[in-house]
């Protein structure tokens, strides 16, 4: 009886030991394979409506540009794991200012106003273009621009103009194909290839993302970590 009890106790102990070891290995694996940046704090800083509001300092900065409604503000919210950090809307043209957000007390993400929505007048377009140009040329700590394109549409002539502008001023950029939850998984690669082809960039320069289900979040955070620490 005593031997039976002792044996079952030893068995239980060794099971506990085995699970502890397994848990420890899972923890190690998580550290090794899930080592992308974690956004632990994100807060709204300020907005700029004209050149005087553009921040010029040493803090690393990354910016989101793209057509209105493409999902810039939603991408910011998704990356930061917050639903209401930046305002989003199905009505295009919501973000009208340059909005600065401080991430991990370490770098800024800048949510830029979108381009190319139908109701915009010529004067507004001219103001927008002037402000964008000033922002892109004045921001001395801008590390990279994320150019967002809806994965379901061919990039527009305005998207191509943005790419040409970035190329001509040698401003580093990468393309993000947004809203990929709207596509079957098997179609995502085809869509990113098509976007790359239309914009004349390498396919590896197009990342797929969904703010709806966070598809692509780890890859984008990894990328962000690398560029911010450059
Ligand atoms: N299904 C889906 N919808 C998305 C995704 N990202 C954004 N949306 C929707 O697209 C609409 C526009 O999103 P916003 O993030 O406000 O777009 P924006 O680029 O900031 O637009 P502007 O501020 O007007 O330039 C909203 O209705 C979002 O809910 C996505 O990944 N998947
Ligand atoms: Mg917006």
Identify the segments of the chain with pLDDT beneath 70.
Answer: 1-19, 22-35, 93-95, 117-121
CA 194 – CA 190 distance, rounded (Å): 6
Per-domain residue ranges for the chain? Answer: 1-35, 42-228
Question: Using only C-alpha atoms, what is the Rg of the chain?
Answer: 23
CA 95 – CA 112 distance, rounded (Å): 7
**Which of 66, 69, 95, 99 for mutating ligand 1's site (highest number of atoms within 8 Å of CB)?**
69
**Looking at residue 29, what is its pLDDT?**
57
Ligand 1 centroid to residue 14 C-alpha, Å? 52
CA 204 – CA 193 distance, rounded (Å): 9
CA 72 – CA 198 distance, rounded (Å): 20
Is the CB of 179 within 6 Å of ligand 1?
yes
**Looking at residue 26, what is its pLDDT?**
56
Q: Quote the CATH superfamily of domain 42-228.
A: P-loop containing nucleotide triphosphate hydrolases (3.40.50.300)
**Looking at residue 113, what is its pLDDT?**
87
Maximum distance among all Cα pairs of the chain, rounded to whole angstroms: 92
pTM of the entire structure? 0.85
* Percentage above 70 pLDDT, the chain: 82
Which atom from ligand 1 is nearest to the alpha carbon of 211?
31
């Amino acid at each position: 009886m005593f031997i039976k009890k002792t044996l079952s106790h030893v068995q239980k102990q060794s099971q506990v030991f085995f699970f502890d070891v397994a848990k420890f290995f899972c923890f190690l694996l998580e550290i090794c394979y899930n080592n992308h940046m974690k956004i632990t704090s994100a807060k709204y800083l300020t907005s700029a409506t004209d050149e005087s509001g553009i921040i010029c300092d040493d803090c690393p900065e990354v910016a989101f540009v793209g057509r209105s409604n493409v999902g810039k503000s939603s991408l910011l919210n998704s990356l930061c794991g917050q639903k209401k950090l930046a305002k989003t809307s199905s009505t295009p043209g919501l973000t009208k200012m340059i909005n600065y957000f401080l991430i991990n007390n370490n770098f800024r993400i800048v949510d830029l106003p979108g381009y190319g929505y139908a109701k915009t007048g010529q004067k507004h377009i001219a103001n927008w273009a002037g402000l964008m140009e000033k922002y892109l040329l004045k921001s001395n700590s801008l590390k990279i621009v994320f150019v967002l394109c809806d994965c379901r549409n061919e990039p527009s002539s305005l998207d191509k103009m943005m790419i040409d502008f970035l190329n001509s001023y040698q401003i580093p950029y990468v393309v993000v194909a947004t809203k990929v939850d709207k596509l079957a998984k098997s179609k995502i690669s085809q869509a990113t290839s098509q976007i790359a082809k239309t914009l004349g960039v390498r396919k590896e320069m197009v990342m797929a993302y969904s703010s709806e289900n966070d598809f692509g979040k780890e890859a984008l955070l990894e990328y962000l970590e690398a560029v911010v620490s450059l």
